[in-house]
Amino acid sequence: MFYVRKLGLWVGILAVVLGVVLPPAAASAQATTTRPPLSLTTSPIPLSIVTQPNKTVTADIRIKNNSTVTEKLKIELLKFGANGADGNPQLHEREAKDTYFDWVSFSEQTFTAEPNVWKTIKMTIKTPPDAAFGYYLAVLFSRANPDKPTGGASAVEGGVASLVLLDVEAPGAKREAKVASLTADRKVYEFLPANLNIKLQNSGNIHVAPTGSIFIKRGGQQVAVLDFNTARGNILPQTDRSFTVSWNDGFPSYDVKTADNKTTKTLKWDFSKIQKFRFGHYTATLVAVYDNGQRDIPVEATVGFWVIPWRILGVGLLIVLLIGFGIWMIVRSVWKKIPRRPSDKSGSDDGAAKSDSPGAQPTSQEPTPPQKKAEPATEPDDTASESDSASNSNAAATTTPPDKPKTAPELKD
């Protein structure tokens, strides 16, 4: 009896231990049935189809299963529109007026996708006689048997959509686009990048995909060319779409990174681009074209902005001022050490003494009164001649001060 009780005690302890260590059977089963997230790739993106009314057109959509397990997929047909000015597609369910959904069929509605294998699905579109202009569809690929949530949890099944832009050529088709605005996100930059925001408007009834270039000029010199809409993003009818093009080819320039909804800027000094030092007023001119069904139509716009690296300019100005001050100090010191000649100083002193001595005659002469014009004498006067000779002799014997002005002798009548 004692051994039976002891055995029962050990069995109970073992049961408790196993119950704590081992997970419940339901949880284990749930863990084994969990599948990896769905990962698919479709091509092409997007798919553009051009047809006419009362015609049948086919197109291939290729899909690849990127996971390591086989997936059973299904196809659903939705429509899409532009979500805001950035042009991101937004999927919508079919509405009662969307009869064009009935024009579309697929070679397979459900199919098996092997891991890392491309699968081709053929899509057929039969347009009625009254079909016209643009229709925008989304072919959604998702799991045919999605996981069911257990234990009160919620499950979100994803999928991949391939966008289809259907253009039915008919009379009255209008493709028209214009530049709604071209702006820079700042009027003045210290360093690049400069972000240019372009908003285009489609006022027609067919989607358009403008492409082109932005030419950056400083004065009359072109310094850069930027590509515009190289991905050929479409603008749906009666909508606007915004594009952003960044110009960062300068020295120095900010390296802008965004992570976890936080933007950080780091100033990079790449001295291999020192010849691309940016300073002054720049203009950015957008030249884009779109196809209106007959020819390419250009659209243009221009915006101006400044690049003023004020910190670099301030340091440069300070260096120039310090160099100029140093040169001035050196010249001043050398000038003070230049000896002066004594003769120049004594001569100037003698001149000052003469000018200050009493009785000195002024250097300036008084104006001489006008003289009468001598008339020729009819007969020589001997008495006058003798008198003049005596006067001249007396004048020569008399010493005249050097500074006293001489006057001309008067002529007697």
Strand pairing class (118-126; 188-189): unpaired
Residues counted in the chain = 413
Let me know if the fold of 40-147+158-168 is the same as that of 177-312. yes
Return the closest-CA partner of residue 215 out of 207, 203, 205, 227. Answer: 227
Domain residue extents for the chain: 40-147+158-168, 177-312
Is the pTM higher than 0.85?
no
pLDDT of residue 363 exceeding 80: no
pLDDT in tens, 83-123: 888 888 999 999 999 999 999 999 999 999 999 999 999 99
The verdict on domain 40-147+158-168 having CATH code 3.40.1390.10 is no
Return the closest-CA partner of residue 214 out of 141, 300, 272, 144. Answer: 300
pLDDT in tens, 255-287: 999 888 888 999 999 999 999 999 999 999 999
Mean pLDDT score across all residues of the chain:
81
Q: Looking at the domain 177-312, which fold is it?
A: Immunoglobulin-like (2.60.40)
pLDDT in tens, 312-333: 999 999 999 999 999 999 998 8
pLDDT in tens, 381-412: 444 444 444 444 444 444 445 554 554 454 44
Residue 289 neighbours by CB distance under 10 Å: 16
pLDDT of residue 357 exceeding 80: no
Q: Which helix (H) or strand (E) holds 28?
A: helix 25-33
